[in-house]
Amino acid sequence: MFKIIKKDFDVVMLLIILSALYFKDFFFSCFNYLNLSFGSQIPLTWDFTSLNNVLPYKDIYFPYGILFYFKSNIFLAIINFFLPTILFTGIYVFLKKAFVNKLIAFFAFISFYLFISKFTGIENFSRYGIALIIGVLLSFIFYRSPRLTLKASFFIGILIGGVFSLVNDQGLYILSLFFFLLLITPILKRVKLSFNFLISRIVFSFLGFVIGFLPFLIFLISNNAENGFLLFIKHLPDFSLYAKTPFIPFSTTTDNLFTFGSIFIAVVLLSFKIFFSNKRLSLISFMELGLVFILILLEQKNIIRSIDKQITFIAFFLYIIMFNELIKDKVNATLTVLFYLIISGLIVSGFVLHPFINYKLGFKRELKSMFFQENLGNFLVIKNNLCLDDNVNKLIKNKSTGLEKVKMAIEKASKDPVEIFDYLSDPVFYVLFNQKPPYYFTIFEGTPLYAQESNVKYIKENNINYIIYNNDALSIQDGVPDKARTRLLFKYVLDNFMILDKVENFVIYKKI
């Protein structure tokens, strides 16, 4: 035990330091959103539904897995607390393995850490960093063992099944990468490939996947949510049909150019090494291959919903390992360290990219005292309620949002209990009116015909008497107005509701 600690003392210290740093942020601070963007309204609404026992897959559409939904669950909260520490430490370990000079690996890691802190934020890193770290891990495994053993296939299947259960989309990316590497590695390594080899590995990985997925399946069945989950999986391909135009309108953004540049350079380098070089592919080359595949998958998601800023850290990591492979021993180690120090300085000063972080951490002194007075389960509920109320109160007090004026106008005009429907762009109204939202409550999932029919059914069954439409908000996807994208729903609104008032950018419709 002590020998292991002594050998990897830096890794152990990194685990301790990062855990200590995140303890205060995770337990004693709130994510205070800086503006009323669509991206900040959705997590606030999910926090509200989670605290009110509204279940994903069964009661609302939630495409990101239970890990980031049930914030008051002790087991999931502990995973969330340790997740960034594990991801960062994993990145550091892989850099040490891939880089010959450990000092260079350390300063490369520092620049990567600063990039996350400055531009993408820990919250986004915790989410998309799962695909990064497991993508690198799979690349490492296939590099070391091109003829993957049955045992390794089984345990990889368990890992993928577990990740898919907790974070659905990341599990799908990792599963796709596994099959890609399973097929391509024997070819690149010039190892004989047989049909029986592929089938046996797929079967054993599937058995492992089932075991990893089993706890989540029990959760679904125990909450009668299995049918909703099956429908969620069935309808996943639909959303690309309603997506923004692929790549071109957004490819000129700095963030996408940054990511596309990393993909292009990596593809050129890999093509040269595969087709024109007699040398065997290195570990870094396999890491590049895995990361390019992951980035291409994420760019496909970017077609559906813009995540160009969120995934720049994967591109940055790809730049780091490509740079290291290009210089190797050709450049003095001191100069390389100096290069990373300059990069770190540029990151801190805010070069090129614009920060994605739309929140600031607000320390809550009262949470510190409660932490030692309540059991962890109660504390998490208290903390999440306090953070939700804090965010909502700040949004209401912000006069530029117009939220309070809309709420007051509706309450003033109504003699009956108020039941509202937000027209798919401002779900925070459900929080303000303390109302359970419909199953499809944003434009992303609310566009397909079956989703529009579901929303019409929600309006009828819940006796909705007011509809709030943001007249100033074009679709976030491609500039097409939401009323044009959801014609069936909008026709129902026009036939059954009349305009009551216009407050700021919001049009309020009242039931006829």
DSSP string, 76-110: HHHHHHHHHHHHHHHHHHHHHHH-S-HHHHHHHHH
Confidence of residue 475 (pLDDT cuts 50, 70, 90): very low
pTM above 0.75, yes or no: yes
What mean pLDDT comes out for the span 432-436? 94
3-state helix, strand, coil in the chain (%, to 5): 70, 5, 25
> Could you give the angle at the alpha carbon of 443 between the alpha carbons of 438 and 446, nearest 5°?
50
Contacts of 210 (CB under 8 A, 6+ apart): 157, 161
pLDDT for res 74: 94
pLDDT digits (tens, 9 = 90+) for 389-402: 988 888 777 766 78
pLDDT at 243: 54
Are 90 and 137 within 8 A, CB to CB? yes
- Tens-place pLDDT, residues 11-58: 889 999 999 989 988 999 888 877 777 777 888 899 999 999 999 999
Q: Model confidence over 76-124: pLDDT tens digits?
A: 999 999 999 999 999 999 998 888 788 888 888 999 998 998 888 888 8
pLDDT at 61: 92
Greater confidence, 419 or 332?
419
Q: In angstroms, how far is the first alpha carbon of the chain from the final one?
A: 74
Which of these ranges, 67-71, 255-259, 337-341, has the smallest mean pLDDT?
337-341
Judged against a pLDDT cut of 70, whether residue 480 lies above it is answered with no
Q: What residues are paired with 363 via a beta bridge?
A: 29
pLDDT at res. 138: 95
Question: What mean pLDDT, rounded, does the chain reach?
Answer: 86
Q: What is the pLDDT of residue 206?
A: 96
The pLDDT of residue 325 is 80
Indicate if the pLDDT at residue 331 is higher than 90: no
Give 300 or 329, the one with higher predicted confidence.
Answer: 300
Give the pLDDT confidence score for residue 178 in this predicted structure.
96
Q: How far is residue 256 CA from its own chain's centroid?
A: 17
The two three-digit tokens of residue 66, written as one number: 């239970």
Domain ranges of the chain: 73-237+245-349, 400-511
Task: Judge contact between 312 and 255, C-beta under 8 A.
Answer: yes
Provide the sign of the torsion angle of the four alpha carbons 39, 45, 46, 51, taken in this order.
positive
The pLDDT of residue 9 is above 80: yes
Q: What is the pLDDT of residues 243-298, one digit of tens each?
A: 554 444 455 678 888 888 899 999 998 998 888 887 788 888 999 999 999 999 88
Express each pLDDT in 111-169 by its tens digit: 999 899 888 888 889 989 999 999 999 999 999 888 889 999 999 999 999 999 999 98
User: Percent of the chain, pLDDT > 70?
Assistant: 89
Query: Out of 28-37, 329-338, 371-380, 454-463, which region has the weakest mean confidence (pLDDT)?
Result: 329-338
Residue scoring higher pLDDT (485 or 50): 50
Residue 290: the pLDDT is: 94
353 has pLDDT over 70? no
Q: How confident is the model at residue 368, as a pLDDT?
A: 83
Look at residues 57, 376, 384 and name the one whose alpha carbon lies nearest to residue 222: 57
pLDDT at 346 over 80: no
Range in 6-10, 198-202, 229-233, 368-372 the model is least confident about: 6-10
CA distances from 16 to 7, 77, 105, 126, 185 (A): 16, 18, 19, 18, 36
Share of the chain above pLDDT 90, in %: 48
Judge whether residue 476 has pLDDT over 70.
Answer: no
Q: Could you report the per-residue pLDDT of 360-392, keeping only the tens digit for each?
A: 777 788 888 888 888 888 999 999 999 999 888
Greatest Cα pair distance, the chain, in angstroms, is 80
